[in-house]
Amino acid sequence: MAYNIIFYFSDQQRWDTCGCFGQPLNITPNLDELAAEGVKFDNAFSPQPVCGPCRALFQTGKYPTETGCFRNNLMLPSQIKTLGEYMEKDAGYETAYIGKWHLDKPVEPFIDCANNRGNMAWNEWCPPHRRHGFDYWVAYGTYDQHLRPLYWNADGGRQDFYYVNQWGPEYEANLAINYIDSVAHSGQPFALMVSMNPPHTGYELVPEKYKRYKNLNVDSIVQTMPHLRDADPKFVKYFKRSLPDYYACISGVDDQFRRIMASLEENGLLENTIVVFVSDHGDSMGMHGNIGKNIFYEEAMRVPFMVSWKGHLKPRMDDDLLVSLEDFCPTVLSLMGLKEKIPATVQTRDLSEQIRGSRKKMPREQLYMLYSEVNKKGKHLTTGARGLRDARYTYAVRFKNGVITERHLYDRKNDPAQMENLAEKQSKRAQKMHRRLKELLVEKQDPAAGVL
């Protein structure tokens, strides 16, 4: 029997925003219900905590040295296969993609829209031959005007984008519901990806009905956070200003998820549909002196991840499995019964048996990658960072022009806020993790192995 699958993505949502991971404000009741019915992973991780590279990695199961997606605004080559192609061309699924894509490179003359003005262009049309197996298509590159979003549909050309006077997640949930209604009784299995931009920055661009946190005591929250409490006042101010709207965005995304799940139930599809929720990365929001992501601290790298599959996955909190978004492609294909479709060129791990509950061959670590400088061929990396996260410790190395400039080691058990760098105090542990990191980079054919 072929099972349907829905992938529901948010952008820039930290793991600690969900009630099932300890958030006390009941921000995500619907995602919490999904987690209660399935498996929630307490050690899910974004290896490249920035939008485009992470999306390329989880779509393909290949590292940037293969895809060329080292940073944002680089094109995923059309010849590299993704989840959509494995499901559509190789397994006969109806496939659909709705929302943020961010796997194309803006080209001149740039699309005349808000995200393409200023020092850098961001948004771009994706032509049909680069949609990687997704037939139904209503999407955009990246566009942060959440209350008046921009889209291309499957038949439109590059200049045929249109605006919607509606909050992006609401519009995208409407599209998802209409799609589910249209394929529910076709007898054909479907794979639907819904990729919502909020809670990406533009936090304030959220409907008033979700702004329930205006009276949140942000001062008391800051006092509980050592990685922010004594920070530069500008970062504290940013966090305090952003948090109520950030939570509002997440409440809204959760509410739209409820609507999509209701559509599945109304169409009698809950019993034979795998539902996956995950975010592409977290958000620092001023913590550790950082606004944004792409850094080796938990607030940027750790993400909410849950899978519900009635009758197949026993509900539980899995805090042992070190699952990473890099494992997404082979793991999902294998869960769907498409293990034979996974080619040898996929570089990442199939963790489907571990998700089912097996404790054999458990991963020991997760990789962290930051590619800052790449030459024209995309092979010589001289500046950036690499790291390793195991069940307790995080180790990271920064390097510039081929020379290591910083080493970081954090004991997350005794120091969950990652305030004390133990790289010198626990030098033997740091050296051991350094050697293991280099081994993995050699294995992945990452040129940064030569720097380390």
- Give residue-wise pLDDT tens across range 52-61: 999 999 999 9
Task: Quick: pLDDT tens for 191-225.
Answer: 999 999 999 999 999 999 999 999 999 999 999 99
Residue 95 has pLDDT above 60, yes or no: yes
Which pLDDT does position 199 carry in this prediction? 98
Residue 173 has pLDDT above 80, yes or no: yes
Residue 89 has pLDDT above 80, yes or no: no
Arithmetic mean of pLDDT, 315-335: 96
Name the more confident of 343 and 368.
Answer: 368
Residue 377 has pLDDT above 60, yes or no: no
Which pLDDT does position 420 carry in this prediction? 98
Which pLDDT does position 88 carry in this prediction? 81
Task: Quick: pLDDT tens for 241-291.
Answer: 999 999 999 999 999 999 999 999 999 999 999 999 999 999 999 999 999
Residue 1 has pLDDT above 60, yes or no: yes
pLDDT band at 319 (very low <50, low <70, confident <90, very high): very high
pLDDT band at 230 (very low <50, low <70, confident <90, very high): confident
SS (H, E, C) the chain: CCCEEEEEEECCCCHHHCHHHCCCCCCCHHHHHHHHHCEEECCEECCCCCHHHHHHHHHHCCCHHHHCCCCCCCCCCCCCCCHHHHHHCCCCCEEEEEEECCCCCCCCCCCCCHHHCCCCCCCCCCCHHHCCCCCEEEEECCCCCCCCCEEEECCCCCCCCEECCCCHHHHHHHHHHHHHHHHCCCCCCEEEEEECCCCCCCCCCCCHHHCCCCCCCHHHHHHCCHHHHCCCHHHHHHHHHHHHHHHHHHHHHHHHHHHHHHHHHHCCCHHHEEEEEEECCCCCCCHHHCCCCCCCCHHHHECCEEEECCCCCCCEEECCCCEEHHHHHHHHHHHCCCHHHCCCCCCCCCCHHHHHCCCCCCCCCEEEEEECCECCCCCCECCEEEEEECCCEEEEEEEECCEEEEEEEEECCCCCCCCCCCCCCCHHHHHHHHHHHHHHHHHCCCHHHHCC
Name the more confident of 118 and 243.
Answer: 243
Residue 81 has pLDDT above 60, yes or no: yes
Q: Residue 227 corresponds to which amino acid?
A: H
Which pLDDT does position 447 carry in this prediction? 84
Residue 51 has pLDDT above 70, yes or no: yes
DSSP state, residue 230 = T
Task: Quick: pLDDT tens for 12-30.
Answer: 999 999 999 999 999 999 9
Which pLDDT does position 263 carry in this prediction? 98
Residue 382 has pLDDT above 90, yes or no: no
Residue 379 has pLDDT above 60, yes or no: no
Residue 90 has pLDDT above 90, yes or no: no
Residue 78 has pLDDT above 80, yes or no: yes
Which pLDDT does position 375 carry in this prediction? 58
Which pLDDT does position 374 carry in this prediction? 64
Residue 378 has pLDDT above 80, yes or no: no
pTM of the model: 0.96
Q: Which residues contact 182 (CB under 8 A, 6 or more apart)?
A: none
Which pLDDT does position 92 carry in this prediction? 87
- Per mean pLDDT, which range of 48-57, 134-143, 370-379 is the poorest? 370-379
Residue 411 has pLDDT above 90, yes or no: yes
Task: Quick: pLDDT tens for 342-360.
Answer: 888 899 999 999 999 999 9
Which pLDDT does position 380 carry in this prediction? 59
Tokens of 201: 């920055």
- How many whole angstroms separate alpha carbon 127 and alpha carbon 364? 40
Mean pLDDT of the chain: 94
Name the more confident of 371 and 264.
Answer: 264
Arithmetic mean of pLDDT, 107-132: 94
Task: Quick: pLDDT tens for 413-433.
Answer: 999 999 999 999 999 999 999
H/E stretch holding 152: strand 150-153
Distances (CA, A) of 172 to 88, 169, 178, 209, 253: 21, 5, 10, 18, 10
What percent of the chain is predicted at pLDDT more than 70?
98
DSSP state, residue 72 = S
